[in-house]
Amino acid sequence: MRKIKEILRLKWEAHLSARQIASSCNISHHTVTKILKAAEVAGISWPLPEGSDDAALENLLYPEQNKGKIDRPEPNPEYVYRELKRKHVTLTLLWCEYKQVHPDGLMYSQFCERYRQWLGKLDVSMHQVHKAGEKLFVDWAGDTFPIVDRETGVITEVYLFLATLGASSYSYAEGFLSRDLPQWITANVHAFSHFQGVTEIVVPDNLLTGVSKPNYYEPDINPAYQSMAEYYGTVIIPARVRKAKDKAKVEKGVQDAERWVLAALRNHTFFSLAEFNRSVMAKMAELNDKPFQKMDGTRRSLFETVDRPAMKPLPPHPYELAEWKRARVNIDYHVEFETNFYSVPYQLIRQEVELKVTSSMMEILFKGKRVALHRRSGGRYTYVTEPNHLPTSHRQYLEWTPSRITSWAGTVGPNTAALVTEILNRKAHVEQGYRACLGVMRLSKSYPAERMEAAARRALACKAISYKSFKSILEKGLDQVALLTPPCGVIIQHENIRGAAYYQQGGDRQ
């Protein structure tokens, strides 16, 4: 359902056509049209009311519909296509002829829409006219450039990122040590900063870092890349697979960069990425200031007069890379991420949520609506708990309660019950001990009650009050080894042990 909000945003805020929205959102053109019509019927406007969630939006768009739809005869699109090539024949004329044969057939707007849908599937090459500030084409250059470690002599290949504006062909280039997702998004962010603006559309190649599932008609945009696009108010429309004309601008930009930058620097040896990028920036400035061959001006002058005035302004701060992940809420109403646990409202127990994680923050969403926001924990196995997320009555909302857990532990034996109680008591919130107690319970499926009791006795004696220690005792068979006498924590008296008093008095130095 997150795509419905994006469809409405792209229609009313970005003013894109239905086909552009379909390409960006990885859905069919028919689905986009259907959603926009449903939104119009439902009286939905943009921006959406504050606090609107996906569930409410879905109810508005898809109320219970009447059954018994009439199947209307479909027009023959191939016949329409052939007839339109004839002189003076129009869609209106063909529709009138169609209605004479099928009086209960499609209305004129539906007739034209069905034909356009069929026509869009034809392999028709079209001349592309780029509007000012409309498109930014981005890609990696095919060739790499070596940099040398001054101390070890190890050679590292640098990948060159290219971004070219559609109307002016003004280009930006930067070298990176890898082509993974963080570097790809960083490169896009740096390009926006260099241009001091954002285009309406970004056109990448179908590379796996930006497009998680390449497809000819419906490429699936990587969620992190999509999040960056939403932050800058732009749209990602990847080039079609094996359609070089869709990205001709950046292909030409890559060719120019390889010829006028990489080839021009072929006799230079660089010892750091920063040194390489300084030279790249200088060469790109020369390329952007190079006069056009068949028209007046340069890429830079055309950028300043055409592209830049039409581009959207940058947001106040650069985009911060976010990682997306799905997680299920545990019975302690916390979700786990990288060995730490973050709370959500207790009503979401066992629900699947989305995690949007940056270097500093953890945002948790349920059906597209934020339900929790935490600062990232820098430790391990720590709980980050918001007091408002705590339930007022555990019996009503939780299947497991402290009394039920301790009751179960008592069926194994008194030592196990004492260990479980101690685990619960040592937590700031008793629910945080549920996860460890459930781990103890699961171990009872692999070990008999006698060993569970012996391991619990040893854990209590040595004050090893945790699931990990308890499990280690069982795995290493320490529960079958007799406890030391006296047990852990008791001071041992022996004639060879001098004690603290010896050192306080100076000791016997004879």
Average pLDDT rounded to a whole number, residues 178-186: 89
Q: Which of the 8 DSSP states describes residue 316?
A: S
How confident is the model over 312-333, as a mean pLDDT? 88
The amino acid occupying position 286 is: E
* Residue 239, pLDDT score: 73
- Which residues does residue 383 pair with via DSSP β-bridges, in sequence order? 341
Looking at the fold, whether 340 and 450 belong to one and the same domain comes out as no
Which residues, 6+ apart, have CB-to-CB distance to 359 below 8 Å?
320, 321, 376
- 389 and 302 in a common domain: no
Clarify whether residues 369 and 417 are in a common domain. no
Instruction: Look at residue 156 in the predicted model and tell me its pLDDT.
Output: 93
Any domain includes 373: yes
Same domain, 369 and 415: no
Residue 125 lies in a domain: no
pLDDT above 80 (res 207): no
Q: Does 313 or 12 have the greater pLDDT score? A: 313
Taking residues 310-336, report their average pLDDT.
88
In this predicted model, what pLDDT tens digit does every residue of 151-165 receive, in sequence order?
888 999 999 999 999
CA 397 to chain centre: 31
Q: How far apart are CA 84 and CA 94, in angstroms?
A: 9
As a whole-number percent, the residues of the chain with pLDDT over 70 amount to 78
* Domain membership of residue 429 as a residue range: 404-480
Whether 260 and 142 map to the same domain: the answer is: yes
Q: Is 132 left (phi over 0), alpha (psi -120 to 50) or beta?
A: beta
279 — pLDDT class (breaks 50, 70, 90) = very high
Quote the pLDDT of residue 188. Answer: 94
Q: Is the pLDDT of residue 429 over 70?
A: no
Whether 303 and 208 share a structural domain = yes
Using pLDDT thresholds of 50, 70 and 90, give the confidence band for residue 353. very high
| Same domain for 264 and 168 | yes
Token pair listed for 431: 């629910």
Which of 17-21, 54-58, 193-197 has the highest average model confidence (pLDDT)? Answer: 193-197
Q: What's the confidence (pLDDT) of residue 51?
A: 65
Q: How many domains does the chain have?
A: 5
- Range with the poorest average pLDDT among 44-48, 208-212, 333-337, 392-396: 392-396
Yes or no: say if 355 and 338 are a contact pair by the CB < 8 Å rule: no
Q: Is the predicted pLDDT of residue 57 greater than 90, yes or no?
A: no
Confidence of residue 397 (pLDDT cuts 50, 70, 90): very low
In a domain, 166, yes or no: yes
Q: Which structure tokens are listed for 427?
A: 């937590």
pLDDT mean across residues, the chain: 80
pLDDT of residue 195: 95
* Contact present, 253 and 171 (Cβ < 8 Å): yes
Same domain? 170 vs 284: yes
User: Is residue 146 a contact partner of residue 234, using CB atoms and an 8 Å limit?
Assistant: no
196 lies in the same domain as 299: yes
pTM equals 0.48
| Domain stops at, among 310, 335, 367 | 310
Q: How confident is the model at residue 401 (pLDDT cuts 50, 70, 90)?
A: low
Distance CA 364, CA 335 (A): 9
259 and 145 in a common domain: yes
| Same domain, residue pair 143 and 114 | no
Q: What phi and psi values does residue 152 have, to the nearest 5 degrees? A: -100, -20
**Claim to verify: residue 290 and residue 150 sit in the same structural domain:** yes
Of these ranges, 56-60, 340-344, 491-495, the one predicted with the greatest mean pLDDT is 340-344
Least confident of 54-63, 175-184, 254-263, 453-462: 54-63
